[in-house]
């Protein structure tokens, strides 16, 4: 089939390359001429495992090419995927739909002039009711064009895998022809038994937001339990293991730590709350506001515990931060908990040096005041405390005995629960982690669980960084 993908950000580029790899003829469209030129040469604008190789292969095969022209896109295919960003609005928690609206408005005249039936498929994450509104908007100019909604469920770091072998395909359609077209697009997946869920437009929109809200709730729940463990001496890791053994709950996303970030979960739960409030149903999802607050509080708790570990003040202290990306396997620093903590500590007077295997350049662009290092020992030189904030696998391979030789004080906060506490402690390190203050022994003499909860002295400037939603396009 011939397909277009409008928007070559994270979702769009992965979708375009994967559809081309499945054998479709795909045209990618973006208004950024520099980006299109770079993509045509096989250069990816962000890091995603496997995407670079996929891009080169599909370009060389002739199945994928790029343009800035919507007119060319309308002529090229009858099925158009819209993959532009829907970030959080700067003035509210609602989703900013300007880019989706602009694509529909700009594409519609070309579809009208060409005539004939065509399908415009939204993949962007939007508030429920958007597709119906866009259907009416598009129909006024190009009545032969049909809308469908096909949300994506990508995990950064696994996006290629999630696109080629998804757990399910959800299609919101308004006609049998629209459904048949999408079944044709995904025919190779359907042949291997991947479930195809056909539904209405509103349900398809809501599925993505509901899924992300549920995942965010699990993360905040276990972090709330970690707070109780800090106050009582219980072990959150054992708690999570025991609770996760319940088949109704499971272990997925029941990992205590610094909380969630990135371009999806934070803004999606806020957008869902905002839309519910518009519908007069704010009380129904009010718990998501608490989910968001617990998540943001984890960042303040990390700063409070780090401050305690350096003696109560960051002034004149050296802080090493391991991790800047919001998650391993990505160079994305949008709403990164790690970067928010690093910046918050810097604003309280510490010298902060950050290491990340992939995200240093993007992190430096967001917070140029921080120092950055290209290797772990350099980032930890003369550190008074080391903060493990992004769970890159290579951090689990660090030799704590060797690292102890370069720091000023062998003290580490494992905010991701991915390090071997016994190994670090046997190498002479003071080791701390949320929900595990005792680590199997008596409380350390310098630990005051209550002080970790006294986090309200963070000033407004620091607080603004904990829920940043700027960054890269979708």
Q: Which tokens belong to 114?
A: 């060409």
Which pLDDT score is estimated for 439?
55
Tell me the per-residue pLDDT of 28-77, one tens digit each, with 9 for 90 and over. 999 999 999 999 999 999 999 999 999 999 999 999 999 999 999 999 99
* Of 104, 82, 74, residue with least CA distance to 150: 82
Select from 3.40.50.720, 2.70.98.10, 3.20.20.120, 1.10.286.10 the CATH code of 213-465: 3.40.50.720
Which pLDDT score is estimated for 461?
42
Count of Cβ atoms closer than 10 Å to residue 23 Cβ: 13
In CATH terms, is domain 2-199 a member of 3.90.226.10? no
Which pLDDT score is estimated for 473?
33
Distances (CA, A) of 210 to 81, 171, 202, 215, 299: 22, 15, 12, 9, 24
Helices 201-232 & 287-309, crossing angle to 10 degrees?
Answer: 40
Which pLDDT score is estimated for 447?
45
Q: CATH 3.40.50.720 residue ranges in the chain?
A: 2-199, 213-465
CA torsion through residues 248, 253, 257, 261, sign? negative
Exposed, middle or buried: residue 459 (CB in 10 Å: 0-12, 13-18, 19+)?
Answer: exposed
User: Is the distance from CB of 254 to CB of 218 less than 8 angstroms?
Assistant: yes
Which pLDDT score is estimated for 74?
97
3-state helix, strand, coil in the chain (%, to 5): 45, 15, 40
Which pLDDT score is estimated for 438?
56
Which pLDDT score is estimated for 463?
42
Exposed, middle or buried: residue 226 (CB in 10 Å: 0-12, 13-18, 19+)?
Answer: buried
**What does the DSSP assignment read for 397-444?**
G--HHHHHTTSSS-EEEETTS-S-HHHHHHTT-EEE-TT-SSTTSSPP
Exposed, middle or buried: residue 423 (CB in 10 Å: 0-12, 13-18, 19+)?
Answer: middle
> Which residue numbers in the chain have pLDDT < 70?
437-474
Q: Which residues are catalytic?
A: 264
């Amino acid at each position: 089939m011939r397909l277009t993908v409008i928007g070559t950000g994270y979702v769009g580029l992965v979708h375009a390359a994967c559809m081309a790899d499945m054998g479709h003829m795909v045209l990618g469209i973006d208004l950024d001429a520099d980006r299109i030129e770079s993509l045509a040469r096989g250069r990816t604008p962000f890091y995603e495992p496997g995407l670079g190789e996929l891009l080169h292969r599909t370009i060389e095969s002739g199945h994928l090419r790029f343009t800035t022209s919507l007119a060319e896109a309308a002529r090229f295919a009858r099925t158009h995927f819209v993959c532009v960003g829907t970030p959080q609005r700067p003035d509210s928690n609602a989703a900013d739909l300007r880019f989706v609206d602009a694509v529909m408005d700009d594409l519609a005249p070309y579809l009208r002039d060409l005539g004939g039936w065509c399908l415009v498929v939204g993949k962007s994450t939007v508030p429920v009711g958007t597709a119906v509104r866009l259907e009416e908007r598009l129909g006024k100019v190009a009545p032969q064009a049909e809308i469908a909604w096909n949300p994506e469920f990508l995990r950064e770091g696994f996006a290629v895998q999630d696109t080629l072998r998804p757990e399910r395909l959800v299609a919101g359609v308004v006609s049998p022809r629209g459904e048949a077209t999408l079944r044709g697009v995904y025919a190779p997946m359907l042949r291997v038994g991947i479930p195809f869920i056909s539904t209405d437009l509103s349900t398809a929109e809501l599925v993505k937001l509901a899924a992300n809200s549920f995942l965010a709730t699990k993360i905040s729940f276990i972090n709330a339990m970690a707070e109780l463990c800090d106050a009582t001496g219980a072990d959150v890791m054992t708690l999570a293991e025991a609770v996760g053994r319940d088949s109704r709950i499971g272990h997925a996303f029941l990992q205590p730590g610094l909380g969630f970030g990135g371009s999806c979960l934070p803004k999606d739960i806020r957008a869902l709350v905002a839309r519910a409030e518009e519908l007069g149903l704010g009380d129904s999802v009010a718990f998501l506001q608490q989910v968001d607050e617990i998540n943001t509080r984890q960042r303040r708790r990390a700063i409070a515990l780090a401050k305690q570990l350096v003696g109560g003040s960051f002034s004149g202290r050296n802080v090493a931060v391991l991790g800047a990306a919001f998650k391993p396997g990505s160079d994305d620093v949008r709403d990164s908990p790690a970067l928010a903590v690093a910046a918050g500590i810097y604003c309280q007077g510490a010298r902060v040096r950050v290491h990340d295997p992939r995200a240093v350049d993007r992190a430096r662009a967001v917070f140029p005041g921080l120092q950055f290092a290209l290797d772990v020992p350099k980032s930890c030189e003369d550190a008074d405390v080391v903060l493990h904030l992004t769970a890159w696998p290579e951090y689990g391979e660090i030799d704590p005995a060797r690292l102890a030789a370069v720091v000023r004080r062998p003290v580490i906060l494992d905010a991701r629960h991915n390090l071997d506490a016994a190994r670090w402690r046997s190498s002479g390190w003071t080791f701390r982690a949320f929900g595990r203050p005792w680590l199997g022994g008596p409380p350390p003499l310098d630990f005051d669980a209550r002080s970790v909860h006294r986090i309200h002295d963070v000033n407004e400037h620091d607080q603004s960084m904990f829920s940043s939603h700027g960054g890269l396009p979708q």
